[in-house]
Amino acid sequence: MSQPAIKLYRHPLSGHAHRVELLLSLLKLPTELVFVDLANGAHKKPEFLAINAFGQVPVIDDSGIILSDSNAILVYLAKKYGNGSWLAEDPLAAARIQRWLSVAAGQLAFGPASARLITVFGAPLNAEEVIARSHALLNVMDGELASTPFLAGAAATIADVANYTYIAHAPEGNVSLQAYPNVRAWLERVQALPGFVPMQPTAAGLQAA
């Protein structure tokens, strides 16, 4: 029997949703993309709150299994469909991946992702602060990527999937990647993975026409 399509409730400009879309594509899983109209508050309507009480995208429906939170979804998909190649069983390797999932929910969310929220969605945040946090993160990433091709080791894992999108789109939030050659090389390695799909770009920040 063929694998039924996994429904992904998402918005095309959500980096959190793109993480999940990217892993689904890398795993070659049939996917049905369900547009959630964030601009008109569809994520706060009762029918959406019934599948995610936090009122956020992404959400997946895998044959009746409903899951929200992008990093939790990455763990689920890697465990269920990844054949051990996206989330390690070895304790140390698993911990290295978890470290970068924590970064994705912490420094990344409050740095590059927040910077992009200002320019793309008009969020009332302090641009100077979030851009400074972004460069602090990029400095660490660039240093670590000097000695390893992917964030958690020699092969791509969900650590890379979780962090890729908001780093790749950081210039939309006025965060330049020019000073980080190892980060830029890592982005290219992720983009070269079989099944890679990009997120829709936005003409904002440093990417403005």
**Tens digits of residue pLDDT in 32-68:** 999 998 888 889 899 999 999 998 999 999 999 999 9
Which percentage of the chain shows pLDDT scores above 70?
99
Residue 20: closest CA among 57, 63, 74: 74
Whether the CB-CB separation of 128 and 138 falls below 8 Å is answered with: no
Spatial CB neighbours of 160, under 8 Å, sequence gap ≥ 6: 100, 150, 151, 152, 186, 190
| 22 and 66 belong to one structural domain | yes
Mean pLDDT estimate for the chain: 94
pTM: 0.94
**Any residues with CB less than 8 A from the CB of 203 and at least 6 apart, and which?**
209
Residue 155 has pLDDT above 90, yes or no: yes
Handedness of CA 55, 58, 61, 66 (dihedral sign): negative
Q: Phi/psi class of residue 55: alpha, beta or left (left: φ > 0; alpha: ψ in -120 to 50)?
A: left
Say whether pLDDT at 123 is over 90: no
Taking only the tens place, the pLDDT of each residue in 166-184 is 999 999 999 999 999 999 9
Instruction: Say if residue 170 is in the same domain as residue 99.
Output: yes
For residues 201 and 108, membership in a common domain is answered with yes
Q: Is residue 115 part of a domain?
A: yes
Residue with tokens 């465990």: 79
Structural domain total, the chain: 2
Rg (CA), the chain: 17
Q: Could you list the residue range(s) of the whole structural domain that residue 98 is in?
A: 91-207
